[in-house]
Structure formats: structure tokens, C-alpha cells
Amino acid sequence: MGEEQVEYYKQRYQRLEDLPGVGPATASKLREIGFKTVESLATAAVGELVEAGISEATAERIIEAARRSIAITFVRGDELVKLRSSVRHLTTGCSSLDNLLGGGIETQSITEFYGEFGTGKSQICQQLCVTVQLPYERGGLEGGALYIDTENTFRPERIMQIAPHFNLDPKEALKRIIFAEAYTSSHQMMLLENADEVIKENNIKLIIIDSLTSHFRSEYIGREMLASRQQQLNKHLHKLIRLARAFNAAAVITNQVMAQPDVFFLKGVQPVGGHIIGHTSHTRVYLRKGKENIRIARLIVSPFLPEGEAPIRITERGIESGEEA
Ligand code: GTP
Ligand code: MG
């Protein structure tokens, strides 16, 4: 489908009620189960709509129509395949990290930063909230950021400090960041389930969950809880990836891991979410401490990129490329 056609359907299907087969009753059912925008319906499954009391035929019709309004094509009718041409890269504002990532953070997939406390995960997230606002030619996505904060680490002052280094007005930059604090894991999930309208209205191009795992870790304790924790995390990440695809946005998650003092490099350092996150997030960056304000970023898995390392430095200006002393 060409860009013009996509644009045509985008104009035609602006609200749920514009979709064929969606009257006020169906629209309100859809909103109730978290589909408030046409974009989010494009990545919905027929079963989800049927569960909400919509007939299978109608569900198929609705999803089919919604898909036309976004640049996503499907193979075999069931498998969602991203149009590589529509994937963009968001600069981290740090050249060594961008190089490591093959040009920046990809839209339509999840990038995970994991590492010990104080390794710069939240700092990177806050810098991305600024760079996402930059014009395309400067590596931005010309959009806003949604920051789901579980540890109360987001600092507006930090944004105001970083923004001028990217030639952005600090106050304007803050206006384009939508902040939400998640108090529990279920609150965190609910925030994301209901995020599609906020994403659309604010032209959000970056969705951050910092940290993805802290609430889950403190609430689901013990072996017997492991399965349900992984199930919930999986559901949460699934929602995230679908939003990223529907809105051609970048998705960034953080995950704190404990390093054992005598451990040689990665042995023994296991991301909290375990395998589920590993399979769902497409790019994983492990951060470890170097000397002083130096951090080493290591690319762990990526479908496209070779593994490698990049030194970064945390300064008053934000995250910068750094050489290890
Ligand atoms: P956890 O969330 O605890 O797992 O850690 P994190 O990986 O999110 O760490 P965070 O991104 O909060 O990094 C904290 C590091 O950034 C500390 O070493 C701080 O000293 C440093 N930092 C934060 N703000 C500034 C700043 O304004 N200037 C400088 N130079 N360093 C800063
Ligand atoms: Mg943090």
C-alpha cells in the first residue's frame, strides 16, 4: 500500500466511529477494553474484540479497516510485519551509543537498558525525552515522550539542563513530555493499557518505562509467583510493542540487575525479567560502571547488529560519548 493510500485512510478513519461497523455502542465497548484510537486497533487481535462482545465478523472488519490507516502490512493474515522502510532511528544524543545501536534507537521495537544502580539508565531515558523532540535531520522523531516512572526518578530540572545543549527551549521541551508515575505493577500496566489516546493526542514518539521490573520484583516474591509474574510482564511488553508499532514510536525500558562483586563480566548478571523480556525486546544494552563518570554500554542481542561496546560519560550536559581513561 502506498503512502498516499495510507494518508487517505488516515484522514477517513480518524475516530473509532469512522470505522465501518462501529456504532456508538461498539465504540464504547472498544474504549472500555482499551482501544481508544484507530491506530491501536490496527494491532488488535480478533479474539480480544470478540471477548468484549463484538461479533467475529465485525471484529475482523474493524481491524482490517484500522490496518489500512497505518503503514503496516501483514503476511499470512496473522503475522504482523513491520515495514522496514517506515522504521526510524532516534538519536541518543551520544555518538558512541548511536554507533553501537546502528544509528540510534529503532522505532517499532523495544530497546532495553539494563545494569546495576547508578549506571545511567534513567539518565539515558531523560536525554531521549529531549532528543525525540528534535527534527528528523538532527536525529529526532519530531514528537513527544511518554515517561512511565516507577521509581520516582524523573527530574524536570534534568530535562531543563539537557535541553539547551540540543538547542531546545527548556520549558517547551518539558511541555512535550507526558509524565505518569506508576504506584504498583497493576497500575503500571493500566497506564499503558490506556495510553493510546494520550499517545495520539500528544504525537508521542517515545514510550519509556523506567523501570519495567521494579514493581513486579517487589510484588511477586518467591518461586511460586514466578510464573504469574512472567505472564503479567509478557502481557505488559506485548502491549508496549503493539503501541510502538501502531504509532511508529520507539519503546525504551530499563531493568536493574545486581552485579556480583567477583563476577567476571556477564556471568551471573541476569536481567530480572528473565527470558520473557529477552524474547520480546529486540535490542538489549548492558551498562556497567567504568572509572568515575564513565559507563560502558554493551550491546547484548540484536537481530541486526553485531555485539560491541561503547564508552559513555554522564555529565551536566547529559549523556556524552566518552573514552575510558
Ligand atoms: P537505578 O535506577 O538506581 O537502577 O540507576 P540508573 O541506572 O537509573 O542510574 P541513573 O541514570 O539515575 O544514573 C545516576 C548517575 O548519574 C549517578 O552516577 C549520578 O551521579 C549521575 N548524574 C545524575 N545527574 C547528573 C548530573 O547532573 N551531572 C552529572 N555529572 N552526573 C549526574
Ligand atoms: Mg533509574
Rounded alpha-carbon distances, angstroms, from residue 287 to 106, 278, 293 = 19, 16, 12
- Ligand 1 mean position, distance from CA 123 (Å): 6
- What is the pLDDT at residue 45? 84
- What is the pLDDT at residue 117? 93
Closest CA to 97 of 325, 305, 237: 305
Checking if the pLDDT of 279 tops 60, the result is no
- What is the pLDDT at residue 257? 85
Q: What is the pLDDT of residues 177-207, one digit of tens each?
A: 999 999 999 999 999 998 999 999 999 999 9
Q: What is the rounded average pLDDT of the residues 132-140?
A: 98
- What is the pLDDT at residue 267? 44
- Residue 4, helix vs strand vs coil: helix
- What is the pLDDT at residue 222? 82
Q: Which domains does the chain have, with CATH numbers?
A: 1-85 (1.10.150.20), 89-321 (3.40.50.300)
User: Whose Cα sits closest to atom 28 in ligand 1?
Assistant: 316
Q: For residue 315, what are the contacts with CB-CB under 8 A and spacing of at least 6?
A: 293
pLDDT band at 82 (very low <50, low <70, confident <90, very high): very low
- What is the pLDDT at residue 36? 92
> Are 50 and 59 contacting, i.e. CB atoms less than 8 angstroms apart?
yes
- Ligand 2 mean position, distance from CA 102 (Å): 24
Averaging pLDDT over each range in 51-55, 206-210, 280-284, which range is the top one?
206-210
Checking if the pLDDT of 31 tops 60, the result is yes
Q: CA 55 to CA 10: how far, in whole Å? A: 24
- Ligand 2 mean position, distance from CA 302 (Å): 23
> Are 207 and 238 contacting, i.e. CB atoms less than 8 angstroms apart?
no
Mutation test residue for ligand 1: of 97, 116, 123, the one with most atoms within 8 Å of CB:
123
Q: For residue 145, what are the contacts with CB-CB under 8 A and spacing of at least 6?
A: 128, 129, 132, 133, 176, 177, 178, 204, 205, 206, 207, 208
- What is the pLDDT at residue 302? 65
For residue 63, give the C-alpha cell.
481491524
- What DSSP assignment string belongs to 81-128? E--GGG--EE--S-HHHHHHTTSSEEBTSEEEEEESTTSSHHHHHHHH
How many of the other CB atoms lie within 10 Å of CB of 31? 15
Atom number of ligand 1 nearest to Cα 120: 11
- What is the pLDDT at residue 282? 78
Checking if the pLDDT of 105 tops 70, the result is yes
Checking if the pLDDT of 292 tops 70, the result is yes
Checking if the pLDDT of 74 tops 50, the result is no
User: Whose Cα sits closest to atom 1 in ligand 1?
Assistant: 117
Q: CB-based burial of residue 83 (10 Å sphere; 0-12 exposed, 13-18 middle, 19+ buried)? A: middle
- What is the pLDDT at residue 101? 94
- What is the pLDDT at residue 264? 42
Better-predicted residue by pLDDT, 80 or 102: 102
Better-predicted residue by pLDDT, 164 or 4: 164
DSSP state of 18: G
- CA angle, 48 then 77 then 75, to 5°: 130
- What is the pLDDT at residue 325? 41
Atom number of ligand 1 nearest to Cα 151: 2
pLDDT band at 46 (very low <50, low <70, confident <90, very high): confident
For ligand 1, is residue 316 a contact (CB within 6 Å)? yes
> Are 232 and 216 contacting, i.e. CB atoms less than 8 angstroms apart?
yes
Q: Which ligand is nearest to the CA of 293?
A: 1
pLDDT band at 88 (very low <50, low <70, confident <90, very high): very high
Least confident of 19-33, 49-63, 105-119, 291-305: 291-305
Q: Which ligand is nearest to the CA of 159?
A: 1
The one-letter amino acid at 200: K
- Ligand 1 mean position, distance from CA 161 (Å): 14
Q: What is the rounded average pLDDT of the residues 285-290?
A: 93
pLDDT band at 145 (very low <50, low <70, confident <90, very high): very high
Strand partners, 316: none
For ligand 1, is residue 315 a contact (CB within 6 Å)? yes
- What is the pLDDT at residue 266? 43
